[in-house]
Structure 1
Amino acid sequence: MKILQSTLLLLFVPLTKPAPPTQQNSRIIFDYGTDNVEEILPTQDYKDQYLDGKNIKERESIIVPDEKSLHLQKDESLTSLPSKKENDEMPTCLLCVCLSGSVYCEEVDIDVVPPLPKESAYLYARFNKIKKLTAKDFAEIPNLRRLDFTGNLIEDIEDSTFSKLSLLEELTLAENQLLKLPVLPPKLILFNAKYNKIKSRGIKANTFKKLSNLSFLYLDHNALESVPLNLPESLRVIHLQFNNITSVTDDTFCKANDTHYIRSLVEEIRLEGNPIILGKHPNSFICLKILPVGSYI
């Protein structure tokens, strides 16, 4: 009888394993009356997987390029370099102001003429430190119409500097250190070289002879001992004041052998500040519509 009871007890013992303990904070259910609010909180395993996955993504985002990719990047950077033309023009237009064919390089302390864009028509390089002008400065800029180098330190200009500038109409070299003049372009309308150190021997006899368009000539405040020879008929304004001119002749402005000759275009001649008494040379101005400005005794 006892053996039968023990056998029956063994049969009623549960054969399944006990359930594992419930993980904390995996799910909390709140029961507020009729509403069930369920809040799901991340387990520690989930946190570990999330952080591990994040680290994997960060590691994947840091890609070390191999030698081949570096070579390709190098080649791509080489293809993006500017052309030689852009390289030549860019520095000038960064230092100066380039606008519609005009280049403004004023007060930037340059000591040579900068490379100019080929389409340049006007160059204003006033108040710098340029000491010399050469033919190479304008060799490839044929469209120049106006050059202004006022207030530099120019002492020398090569004779061929302006020889290829067939369109040049205005040339200003005022307030420099010039002792002589170069060959001037044929279509010049205005030439200004006042406030220099130019002497009469620094101007060749035919310097102005063929300048049939020259209307304005400014050579005041120099060291001229005489009026330049062969001044063209086209001149309207002639400024020669404050030089060392001591005399004028009947052929200086007029023609001694032609009493009917009239220089009709002249509107102004200035000779004041020279060691000359204009009243002693009345016939020297007989062809003029107006008398020169100066001392008359």
Structure 2
Amino acid sequence: METLQATFFLFVFVPLVNPAPPLQQESLQFYEYDTDVSMGSLTQRDYEMQPKDIRKDGINVSLDTSLMLQSDDSQLDVPPTKDTNLPTCLLCVCLSGSVYCEEIDIEAVPPLPKETAYLYARFNKIKRIAASDFADITTLRRIDFSGNRIEEIEDGAFAKLLLLEELSLAENRLVKLPVLPPKLTTFNANQNRIKSRGIKANAFKKLTNLAYLYLGHNALESVPLNLPESLRILHLQYNNITTITDDTFCKSNNTRYIRTRMDEIRMEGNPIVLAKHVNAFSCLRMLPVGTYY
């Protein structure tokens, strides 16, 4: 009798599994401007992202790689930066309208993806900001250049940034301020080399949304003129301020005028004795911080 051989086929059914969901964007807070530290770094590196391993489609990938996988095609097409041969979104981290280019030693503002809303380029070697750097990026709302080597900002560099609300130029080498965009709410130029002649008389007058102004640790000889009514916090500590007038904060011709929004003025570390200028503070709800004797 012939031996019958049967061939058995084993079919294994593997259930389909949906790929892992994309990494959710974490909530990143903009650092608090200024501290009580007099000469140390006034910025806190609260954006540092620790490397993590995550899974995407069953494959272990690094956080940076995952972020790149989430970037849209337009971001991947950003041209190379001026200082490397890498496209911006490979050199930096591009995530949901934010570009993080921190501590990578770039010497110029990198080309940004269109629709960029937030740029963090802290602690680099940028020396100059050109008008062409933001000519096509009108969607910016926040820019942070803290801790660079910026000495010059070309006229009109921020002219087209009509949505910009927060701008930090702290810890640079500026001797004068650029023309600022109209919708700013927060401006930080702490720890530069700005003198009073480097600030135009009407530099802040039309900034009707400006609430936080930080000019501490510079070389100002006087309080800037025409401060807007919207101002809540003004830091002028550790400058060279020697004079103040009755019209600096108040209106000498209107004894009933009160600055209702001003919550804090810091003027410690200046050679001025504030007690000699009592009338200059008559419209304030509280006296400035500083030397009174």
Q: TM-score, normalised by structure 2?
A: 0.72
| Aligned-partner residue type, residue 273 of structure 2 | I
Cα drift, residue 243 of structure 1: 0.1
Question: Equivalents in 1 of 2:75, 2:227: separation in Å?
Answer: 45
Question: C-alpha displacement at 1:135, in angstroms?
Answer: 1.0
1:217 and 2:208 are equivalent in the alignment: no
Q: 1:121 maps to what in 2? A: 117
Partner of 2:224: 228
**Which AA in structure 1 matches 2:134?**
F
- Of Structure 1 and Structure 2, the greater helix share is in 1
> What does residue 131 of structure 1 align with?
127
Q: CA deviation at 1:256?
A: 0.6
Match of 1:86 among 77, 90, 94: 77
Relative to 1, partners in 2 of residues 1:84 and 1:176: Cα closer, same or farther, differing over 3 Å? closer
Checking the alignment, whether the CA contact within 8 Å between 2:76 and 2:89 is kept in structure 1 is no
Report the equivalent of 1:270: 266
Residue type of the alignment partner of 2:272: I
Q: Any idea what the Cα deviations from partners look like across 1:29-50, whole Å, max 9, x if unmatched?
A: xxxxxxxxxxxxxxxxxxxxxx
**Cα–Cα, structure 1 residues 136 and 279, in superposed 2: closer, same or farther, change >3 Å?**
same
TM-score (norm 1): 0.71
Match for 2:249: what amino acid? Answer: F
2:36 aligned residue: none
**Identical counterparts, % of pairs:** 71
Q: What is the deviation of 1:251?
A: 0.4
DSSP 3-state at the match of 2:77: helix
**2:168 equivalent in structure 1:** 172
The corresponding residue for 1:159 is: 155
Q: Distance in 1 between matches of 2:74 and 2:263?
A: 52
User: Secondary structure, in 3 states, of the residue corresponding to 1:93?
Assistant: helix
The structure 2 residue matched to 1:289, chosen from 269, 285, 288, is 285
**Distance in 1 between residues matched to 2:78 and 2:145, nearest whole Å:** 25
Q: By how many angstroms is 1:206 displaced?
A: 0.7
Task: Identify which of 104, 107, 112 aligns with 1:111.
Answer: 107
CA distance in 1, matches of 2:287, 2:75: 57
Give how far 1:88 is off.
Answer: 1.7
Matched letter for residue 263 of structure 2: E
Residues 155-190 of structure 1: CA deviation (Å, up to 9, x unaligned) = 000120000000000000000000000100000000
What secondary structure is seen at the aligned counterpart in 2 of 1:282? helix
Deviation at 1:150, TM superposition (A): 0.2
Mapped to 2, the partners of 1:254 and 1:195 lie a distance apart of 27
Larger Rg: 1
Distance verdict in 2 for CA 1:269–1:118, change over 3 Å: same
| Equivalent position of 1:32 in the other structure | none
Question: Which stretches of structure 1, 4 residues or more, deviate above 2 A after TM superposition?
Answer: 82-85
For 1:155 and 1:185, the matched residues in 2 are separated by 19
Task: Give the 3-state SS of the residue equivalent to 1:88 in structure 2.
Answer: coil
Equivalents in 2 of 1:277, 1:247: separation in Å?
9
Structure 2: give runs of 5+ residues left out of the alignment.
1-72, 81-85
Q: Any idea what SS the aligned residue of 2:87 has?
A: helix
CA contact (8 A) 2:78 2:89 kept: no
Label 1:84 to 1:258 Cα distance change in 2 as closer, same or farther (>3 A).
closer
- The answer to whether the 8 Å contact 2:75/2:113 transfers is no
> What's the CA shift for 1:85?
7.9
**Deviations 1:191-243 (CA, angstroms, capped at 9, x unpaired):** 00000000000000010010000000000000000000000000000000000
Match of 2:92? 96
Count of equivalent residues: 216
Distance 1:130 1:211, change over 3 A: same
